[in-house]
Amino acid sequence: MKIYFMGICGTAMGNAALLAREAGHEVLGADTGVYPPMSTVLAEAGIALHEGYDPARLEKLAPDLVVIGNAMSRGNPEVEWLLDTRRLAFTSLPALLHESVLKLRRNIVVCGTHGKTTTTTLAAYLLRSAGRDPGFLIGGVPIDPPVGNHLGTLSDPFVIEGDEYDSAFFDKRSKFIHYAPHIAVLNNLEFDHADIFRDLADVQRTFSHLTRIVPRNGWVVMNADDDNLRALGPLPWTRVVRVGLGEQADARIVDFAEDADGASFRLLWRGQPWAEVRWALPGLYNARNAAMAATACALAISPDNPSAFPLESLAHFRGVKRRQEVLVRTPALTVIEDFGHHPTALAETLHSFRARFPGALLTAVFEPRSNTARTKTLQSGFMRALAQADEVYLGAVNRADKMKAEDRFDAEAVAQHLETQGVHAHWFADNAHLLEQLRSETLPPKGKPRVVVFFSNGSFDGIIAAYAKAARA
């Protein structure tokens, strides 16, 4: 089959395209401003990439199926041509994955407001380290395993990142509803995606719908410390295993500690020792991601004795690109890139970095880019999170011209509030000016060691790579 992906350079779409290629299909696709890292991976795999959207070109290419990414909407010229002519079959990415891969597998579906990509990567890594051949689809660019997608063996689990965002402009169900979970991993639950969900109860509703399709011989692996997940109720139609810090947890994290050399913790299974972990990843949040992934893998492989599942390989896990990824490290300056775009994610990362880089000046550079972060919906949360830094640079609000001023993230107000909290704060109407000032004020580094961490779920107009290049020089 010849399959055409619209929006192919997104990490989920690109990895799915590579998965389809591995399954033997002819794959091609289009995107605007064809961009790395996914464009590089796709090109190296021999997948044809087309710039922009052109109905005449699409008609000439004549694919058997068009996969419409959820970034596409009415008004896109190829979407309008497809609807006008009905000449080519089309579907959403989640529906394609269900029909071509997931309906035949015992799937581990990793869900939650935060940590999905890292936890999915950890699960795939742990299964491979245990000698299994799992399938997996990761919504990012992992370091371990070295690829973001793999079909694996039918007899082994398929691990997939379960996003609660909608499937396509014509299918407003959450993506994870398509993913046929045998094990649903519920990392956490907070209000996000204000463009899709009305309030927290609306987000809880879609998570509840997910749990209702977990079979009675499957499991829900739940964060026991999350009040919003506990509110989903007892889930009597399936089995529930809890992971957390308290004594009520089946898999319990104890003795967490963090310093400049890394983090450590112990994992208990129903009160008995399971593993002692010392690794490089920062923060209690990543220890929890590891515990959630380990529990899901153990239930999939050795359900009668979960603590027999080996976890020694965690010591060597190197993580995922753009998730607390260190770009530059010298005694005077460390530059880190992070995908954080929710207040809780920023707060947990900055809290961890205080322990990881004791005595350093902590500089946070934040781009209000996601459909929720660029609004005022979570603005007070961002104020509290960013107050943990010593200084803050606020980038331009992405697509600011598409919003009313009264609805838009108010960077000036945030900067003024941070100043009252003793945080040196700057805000910018354009990211080029931000980069210029950041370089002039922080390079070359002077005085105490400095950590500069960039938070963005997008390109940040290329300033992250530009700053890292200047820092290396």
CATH code of residue 40: 3.40.50.720
Q: What pTM did the predictor assign?
A: 0.92
Q: Do residues 9 and 44 share a domain?
A: yes
Q: Do residues 310 and 380 share a domain?
A: no
Q: Do residues 178 and 145 share a domain?
A: yes
Q: How many CB atoms lie within 10 A of CB 2?
A: 12
Q: Could you tell me if 66 and 141 are in contact, meaning their C-beta atoms sit under 8 angstroms apart?
A: no
Amino acid letter, 468: A
Q: Could you tell me if 326 and 252 are in contact, meaning their C-beta atoms sit under 8 angstroms apart?
A: no
Q: What's the rounded Cα separation, in Å, for the pair 321 and 138?
A: 12
Tell me how far the alpha carbon of residue 67 is from its chain's centroid. 21
Q: Could you tell me if 17 and 5 are in contact, meaning their C-beta atoms sit under 8 angstroms apart?
A: yes
Q: Do residues 183 and 61 share a domain?
A: no
Q: Do residues 246 and 390 share a domain?
A: no
β-pair partners for 267: 253, 275
Pull the structure tokens for residue 231.
């509110």
Q: Do residues 55 and 22 share a domain?
A: yes
Q: Do residues 162 and 303 share a domain?
A: yes
Domains identified in the chain, total number:
3
CATH code of residue 195: 3.40.1190.10
Q: Do residues 126 and 225 share a domain?
A: yes
pLDDT of residue 210: 98
pLDDT of residue 1: 95
Q: How many CB atoms lie within 10 A of CB 24?
A: 9
Identify the burial level of 50 via C-beta atoms within 10 angstroms of its C-beta, where 0-12 means exposed, 13-18 middle and 19 or more buried.
middle
Q: Do residues 158 and 193 share a domain?
A: yes
Q: What's the rounded Cα separation, in Å, for the pair 209 and 213?
A: 7
E strands, 230-271, are 239-244, 251-259, 262-269
Which of 272, 295, 316 finishes a domain?
316
Which of 296, 316, 336 finishes a domain?
316
Q: Could you tell me if 185 and 240 are in contact, meaning their C-beta atoms sit under 8 angstroms apart?
A: no
Q: Do residues 163 and 305 share a domain?
A: yes
pLDDT of residue 194: 87
CATH code of residue 394: 3.90.190.20
The Cα-based distances of 50 to 4, 13, 17, 277, 339 in angstroms read 10, 14, 14, 45, 26
Per-residue pLDDT of the chain (473 residues; tens, 9 = 90+): 999 999 999 888 999 999 999 999 999 999 997 767 778 889 899 999 999 999 999 999 999 999 999 999 999 999 999 999 999 999 999 999 999 999 989 999 999 999 999 999 999 999 999 999 999 999 888 999 999 899 999 999 999 999 999 999 999 999 999 999 999 999 999 999 988 999 999 999 999 999 999 999 999 999 999 999 999 999 999 999 999 999 999 999 999 999 999 999 999 999 999 999 999 999 999 999 999 999 999 999 999 999 999 999 999 999 998 899 999 999 999 999 999 999 999 999 999 999 999 999 999 999 999 999 999 999 999 999 999 999 999 999 999 999 999 999 999 999 999 999 999 999 999 999 999 999 999 999 988 999 999 999 988 999 999 999 999 98
Name the residue range of residue 331's domain.
325-472
Peptide bond into 215 cis (omega under 30): no
Pairing of the two strands 149-150 and 135-137: antiparallel
Q: Do residues 64 and 197 share a domain?
A: no
Residue appearing with tokens 């805000």: 427
Identify the DSSP state of 345: H
DSSP three-state, residue 255: strand
Q: Do residues 255 and 273 share a domain?
A: yes
Which of 261, 281, 316 finishes a domain?
316
